Amino acid sequence: MGWRTQMLWSDGNMLIKKVLLIGSPRMALDSLTTDANISHEVYPPLGLMYLSAMIKRELVEIDVVIYDLHLESIKAAYAGQSVDWSKMVTSRIDEFQPDLVGLSTMFGASFSIAEKIGQEIRQKYPQMVIVNGGVHITGIIKTRDKEKLNSFSDFTCLNEAESHFVGLIRYLNLQQDFLKGVYVHNRVLLRDAAHLLPGIETVEDVDTLPMPDFGAVDLHNSYKYGILSGAQTIPRDKPLATLLTVRGCIARCTFCSVVNFNGAGVRMHSSQRVLEEIDVLYNEHGIRHIDFVDDDFTHSKQRTLEITQGLIARKYDLTWSIGNGIRLGSLTDELLQKMAESGCTYFSLGIESGDPEILKKIRKPLTLPMLRKGIELLQRHPQIYYRANFITGFPEETMEQLQRTFDVAATMQADWCLFSMCKPLPDTEMYNDLLENNYEGVGNNSTANDYSFQTTMGMLANEEEGKHIFDLTYYYNLKINFRDNPNLRGRNVERAVKDFERVTKISQNHAFAWHCLDLGYRKLNRLQDAEYARRNVHKIIENDLFWLKKFEELEVSISN
């Protein structure tokens, strides 16, 4: 046995009595602001809340605490304090004195942060067991980059980790002699190589899982520090929460990690269980808006109808959304009608491409005739705000194919079109194929600003081709979402104004958004606000040739 093992197991006692679960931040430090008008996203660490609930149910003798470093950083910034992740984590550790720290990393953007925090913990508390988990980490373990974790990990729990994590703690506490669904970085903690079993354990009947530990985080107050997607469709003072009611998705798109992470097919909570969770959130935590983060919420029409009927019967003052996206093919008039009636304010739809060949290649469960029908269907239900998501720059996509995406986006008449540049994510079919072919730049998705075209300049690709795709995407973003915005043109001016206000809050020098606000305010007869917006346009373009050029490119004249 190595020295750490001797220290850990020497008295024959339980090693792990206290567990601290840390949610890694998902933002760049320099994007944190003291301006409370700027809304960060405040998704609760749902994965950690499931793990906490499992520990409380299965390992009652263990003390478990969640530290949502993402939310705590925003709180600190709003309070005017400087944000130092290492200090924050070490002071929480000193206070709680855990034996095991679990780090959650879901996105590429959080990886370097988790790495830094983990290395700091390793250095300051060498005896502490460090366990990693989350979608991005699982992807990394399955690829060539797994050594990157060695400097700050004893174990990584793979995939959905409720049973893997509980099993690992039992193992460390000498309560079982096998490990499953775990990658061992520190072999010293493996008592016998034969203890490590291959494969993973998937919870087939998800209703057997406990409800997430809603009380482990400050759910009720998180809305004071930020928003969830679809925020423009609800008042700013609504307490927010998320729920996951489905694991997996019936589709298997090549760019998406869901199939490899959650397995094939769909495992659903019963409608009764979903309604029970909603009851708890509403009655015990005062939640007034729920965002379902499911990958395939509407997989079962029957279940969706039961949930909407249950909500209608409850007459709660509650709205809900499906920010992560639903499959267009699963929607019907009846479903949309009931969704709206039961308080659904917003959903997003993954369209991805307007080119039939690309749709086939990425295995999107969508064809252009289906899309045309879907657009007609959506026009009949304008009460619900919908965002259409597109991906540009798929590997080997031609300019003609890309143009078809922009053409389709223009005909979608969506409330908003979100364009993201393709970034192959670890352990997706696309990533693995590209890796096999030694494609340059795979896995380069590491900064927080890499992805979004919505409001900021987003990524600036170095390669010429990447830059061209970026410029083109940005042009169509301005054209479709701003210049030709169907809501601004008269369909729902209030809705358009809220969107542009949101953009100017995040990106104060977005001259195009100010220009659209000027037009929108005037249509709403808010003349003073219009004047203010117009002044901002002029102020920005005086100093910024970039925006002047954009106005020219899009043939938009600036009002005096």
Q: Name residues contacting ligand B12, limited to 501-560 (CB under 6 A).
A: none
Residue 42 near ligand SF4 by CB under 6 A: no
**500 in Cβ contact with 513 (< 8 Å):** yes
To ligand B12, the closest distance from the beta carbon of 426 in angstroms equals 5
Neighbouring residues of 471: CB distance < 8 A, sequence distance ≥ 6? none
Rank residues 253 and 478 by Cβ distance to ligand SF4 and give the closer one. 253
DSSP per position, 109-157:
HHHHHHHHHHHHHHHH-TTSEEEEESHHHHHHHTSTTGGGGGGG-SEEE
In this complex, which beta carbon is closest to ligand SF4, that of residue 330 or of residue 508?
Answer: 330
Among 8, 88, 256, 293, binds ligand SF4 (CB under 6 A): 256
Residues 438-467 that bind ligand B12 (CB under 6 A): 448, 451-452
268 near ligand SF4 (CB under 6 A): no
Q: Which of 235, 232, 238, 223 is nearest to 502 (CA)?
A: 232
Contact flag: residue 391 with ligand SF4 (CB under 6 A): no
The answer to whether 252 contacts ligand SF4 (rule: CB under 6 A) is yes
H helix or E strand, kind and range, residue 350: strand 344-352
Contacting ligand SF4 within 330-359 (CB under 6 A):
350
Give phi and psi for 423, each to the nearest 5.
-135, 100
Residue 350 makes contact with ligand B12 by CB under 6 A: no
* One of 52, 153, 257, 481 touching ligand B12 (CB under 6 A): 257
Q: Minimum CB separation from ligand SF4 for residue 251, in Å?
A: 4
Task: Give me the sign of the Cα torsion angle 541, 549, 414, 521.
Answer: positive
285 vs 381 by CB, closer to ligand B12: 285
Tokens of 353: 């491409």
Give helix 333-341 / helix 368-379 axis angle, nearest 10°. Answer: 40
295 part of the interface to ligand B12, by CB under 6 A? yes
The secondary structure of residue 236, as a DSSP letter, is T
Which CB sits closer to ligand SF4, 303 or 327?
Answer: 327
Structure tokens at 140: 């990394």
Site string for ligand SF4, 287-316 (x = CB under 6 A): --------xx--------------------
Task: Please give the Cα distance from 493 to 217 (Å, whole number).
Answer: 37
422-410-333 Cα angle (round to 5): 95
Which positions lie near ligand SF4, rule CB under 6 A? Answer: 249, 251-253, 256, 258, 295-296, 325, 327, 350
Which positions lie near ligand B12, rule CB under 6 A? Answer: 26, 41, 43, 45-48, 50-51, 102-104, 106-109, 131-136, 139, 157, 160-162, 165, 229, 244, 256-258, 293, 295, 324, 420, 425-426, 448, 451-452
